[in-house]
Structure 1
Amino acid sequence: MQLSIPDLNLRHIYESGQCFRWEPLGQDTYRIPAFGRTLTVRQTDGVFDFSCGAGEFDALWHSYFDLDTDYAAIKARVAPRDAYLQAAVAYGWGMRILRQDLWEVIVSFIVSQNNNIPRIRKNLRDLCAMQGGAFPTPAALAAAQSETLRALGLGYRAEYLCAAGAHFTQAGALDALRAMSYPEAHTALRAVKGVGPKVADCICLFGLHHVDAFPVDTHVKQILSAHYPKGFPFRRYAGCAGILQQYMFYYDLHGSAQAAP
């Protein structure tokens, strides 16, 4: 199936640190596993070739790519005088906050602690390989031995993954999290062993689509210090602060050095 979609850029999403199991196949083509399905999609300018039919696209992938959100309207809210944020949203054009599987996001960002993107991808590939290629369920991680997970290079995170598995095998635990407000979900996630404030915010933003969640890692902390010494204007950007944070993170990671004189 072929569609023309404005303001969608697969490479920018792949490189943005919000999803870790996309597989680049070359020529702006990616294999994307999600919700037990696999999609292959190729981008040629603003035209996308999807390996699925219209029914599956409408049922799953339309929402996954967050196509009902008007990102142009979000970017139009950026203050004209804010040169840094203007540059960040321009550089990251086409990046969207995916609506991913919540459990996969929980695992991914527990693994992300004190880690880098290439290694996170490898860690997740190894976890899936341990399950015969499928993403490990909460029950699978609850039953795993932490020593087995450590052998995959997960280090101290192995214990946290086992604990998360045990926590979310409880009946209705994931559904309860989905029903919570952002503050409620953040508090509930902090009760999971190994989930600190930054990881909880990542899960809220990327797994629950609470777009006011604003993860602060080393990159974002440096951005805030350099460009917002009086504080980021959260009130101005209520309802999209987390999305703008992702543009800033991506720009700092990939684009700001290129823009430097």
Structure 2
Amino acid sequence: MDAEINALVDELRKNPGAAVLTGAGISTDSGIPDYRSQGGLWERYRPVSFRDFLNCEASRAEYWRRKKEFYTVLIRAQPSPAHLALTHLQSLGYIRTVITQNIDGLHQLAGTHHVLEIHGTARVIVCLGCAQEFDFESVLPLLRDDRAAPRCPDCGDLLKPDTVSFGQALDPEKLHLAVRAVQSCRLLICAGTSLAVEPAASLPHYALRAGARVVILNRDATPLDGLAHRFSRGELSPLFKALEEALSRAHRPRKPML
């Protein structure tokens, strides 16, 4: 691992102000299940599409039953060593923007700034009618009846986590900011993501076309490994912890020009 860490240290020292794209693999050490691995959420459940959520009460109830299970995990989850290491590296100037596919809010809980949640956040519940927002913990008492989906206490319309479901459009402004972040950096680190879900999977291509270096850190192979300047297999928490310790011993880099 020493050679890998030394290589990553070199990448970040030469290219401070990096952008980081994270996926489910960074949160598994926090107890958040991933989607694609054996026993993951996609193996256990068929996703409820946004269209079904809007048009079918049974689908809405099933959606919320699954969310209730997820929230029992989320309410106890704490940032992993990888989350905390990213926050420290950002404070040292090595990282500028974190783009995440995750909906768990653990980057912010770890103290990271400039986080783009391109798939939204499960920590906010939004009314699809009046657009009022609620903290997810305040909605948990409404989930006692598994046969019905919760409704807005003010207008009576549907409540839904502020996340992107299958068939639901991403926030174009967030996507624009994510593309701009990878086009303006000199180094993009993809950590804990399979790079198999669009549009996140296209972000490394934007970075490469803009002349940035791309590093992939993931437990399993990804479709873009052959395009990366460097890739590393393994668990993220020990890797980022070692990277943090190595860079903390080095001099603070010059802040990149904005």
In which range does the TM-score fall when normalised by the shorter chain?
under 0.3
Answer 1 or 2: which has greater helix percent. Answer: 1
Query: TM-score with structure 1 length normalisation?
Result: 0.25
Structure with a larger share of its residues in strand = 2
